[in-house]
Structure 1
Amino acid sequence: MMDWTDPHCRAFHRVLAPHARLYTEMVHANAVIHGDRAKLLAMDASEHPVALQLGGSEPALLAQAARIGADAGFDEVNLNCGCPSDRVQAGRFGACLMREPALVAEGVAAMIDACDVPVTVKCRLGVDDDHDWDRFVHFIDSVAAAGCRMFVIHARNAWLQGLSPKENREVPPLRYDWAYRLKQERPQLLVVVNGGIASLEEATQHLDHADGAMLGRAAYHDPYLLHRLDVAWFGGALRSRAELLRAYRPYVDAQLAEGALLKHITRHILGLFAGERGGRAFRQVLSEGAHKPGADWSLVERALALTESFAAAEA
């Protein structure tokens, strides 16, 4: 979710799903230590609970970054061992760490010692054509022995050669049964299923076999799905898209007052009316107007009004 789940996105998703645990974009430990922390670790108070997702492989640096993240107020620090991009491979982090369970365990142990919030791991089932259950569970057991109690399992392999990051999300077959088996054989661990989950029904089915489900691109492209899931799992009344969007306005107005540009905020709400009559008009109004100087909440209201006029005409 690089360049997607920034603070503007997470604040919007919190309005939609009050009970969800939100995750940041993956940030390399070096960037946290040496970069612009005010930008990289930006977080609105409304976001909690929110996890900082780190990339890296050097235990000392991971520990330092985890401590910085916890001190900044994040509720969890998650080590990414699943991203397959070329940049990740060149830096010896992400999915290639699946081949180095001892190093990951060392890093996790150092992170746990350095901070007082939960340290979790997101991983794949294996790398390339490695389909060995014993190797996968050895990775899990090694990291669990270091103190990790929660694993987010992207239930497919990562191909480090021959597939793009996009293809890595679609081509390798999904094997949810491995995540289910892990939970069955290691009941003391929290196992969250990730990968290819695109509907409320699919996400809910995973709860019969695991402790949770993580949604990525489906939640971004159809954010109302997050709201439907939150209501289905935790109760409450289903709110309309327009009502939810207007509940986001105080955050937007506050950000604009601080100098944020509307285009950087509204890009995260373009999918709110995905599949709905008027959804295209909603996106068009925002896409064409949000970049203009002085663009403010009135543009969002204009997009909403046009969308609602389509719905009224259909009724």
Structure 2
Amino acid sequence: MALVLVTGATGRIGSALLKALLARKDTVRAVVRPSSGSELPHGVEKYEFDLSKGALPKEAFDGAHKVIHLAGLVGHYPYNTLVLQNAFATKNLLASCPTYVHRVVMASSISVYGEYKGKTVDESFELKGESDYGKSKLLSETFARAYCESHRIVFLRFGMVYGPGFEEGYFDVLSRLQKGKMKIIGDGKNRLPLLHIDDAVMAILLSLDSRVEPCREYNIVGPDAMTQQELLLLAAKELGVEPPTSSIPVFLAFFAARVARLLGKKGFSPENIRQLSLDRAYSCGRARKELGFEAKVGISQGLPEVISAYKRKNLQVQQPT
């Protein structure tokens, strides 16, 4: 198999992807920050470089005809930091890509769309990128389009990824549910575009091997769009606790999250509130038709897996040392 260059290989999606690439006998070189400190699986070649610092040296691409770009930041960070780590890091990678790189799979996000309440969004919708994170990912795509044709770039707009390794945010919700402190944010009827990590990895591999035209964007979300209230009800049932019955207006939830951040207290970030409260649903019709992508892991299968991991973590915390 040809060498595959992977950025962001020690991240949450990257870690799962490396296992899948090795399982199918791909040769893998991982670009990691010098400060990462994370261990790579046996058989993965390491190349240390911080993409936010400048163009990736040509030697990093030596022998690599395909690139998977996962490096970047997700979450509540200053806008300038998000732009540097997401948009300019992308530009620094693609600006140094040799001509023999003939496929780049780029991890983007449904956040580039902004909110279209009550609608099911496909790739033809206008990109509004309303949040700081969404704007940084939209700028990443904009920078990448200058290199689309030469490197046959594919954009995967991922939904809210969950599953093993994605404890942040999800465990906070489960903890609040267990303690009876979770409130429905807004009316709870908003749809959540969840995506299991296994399906995210599958979409990357399908894109890597596909012969689709360059500059194609694909929405990648799970098979079922559950509402916030339905998800909380299912999670409470799996935990064996009462589901939340009270609600909080969205603007008050945002206000409380911002105050908690200013005071240095733990709790939901404004980005967490945004993800939980927006009404977002997406069509994967193009990915199904052109990539053969069909999400396999529904919420009824994936959520118990997350809750089992949450219970194991709590058990470890409670055990005496």
Smaller-chain TM-score range?
0.3 to 0.5
Comparing both structures, which one devotes a greater share of its residues to helix? Answer: 1
Comparing both structures, which one devotes a greater share of its residues to strand? Answer: 2
The TM-score with structure 1 as length reference comes to: 0.36
Which of the pair has the greater relative contact order for Cα pairs under 8 Å at 6+ separation? Answer: 2
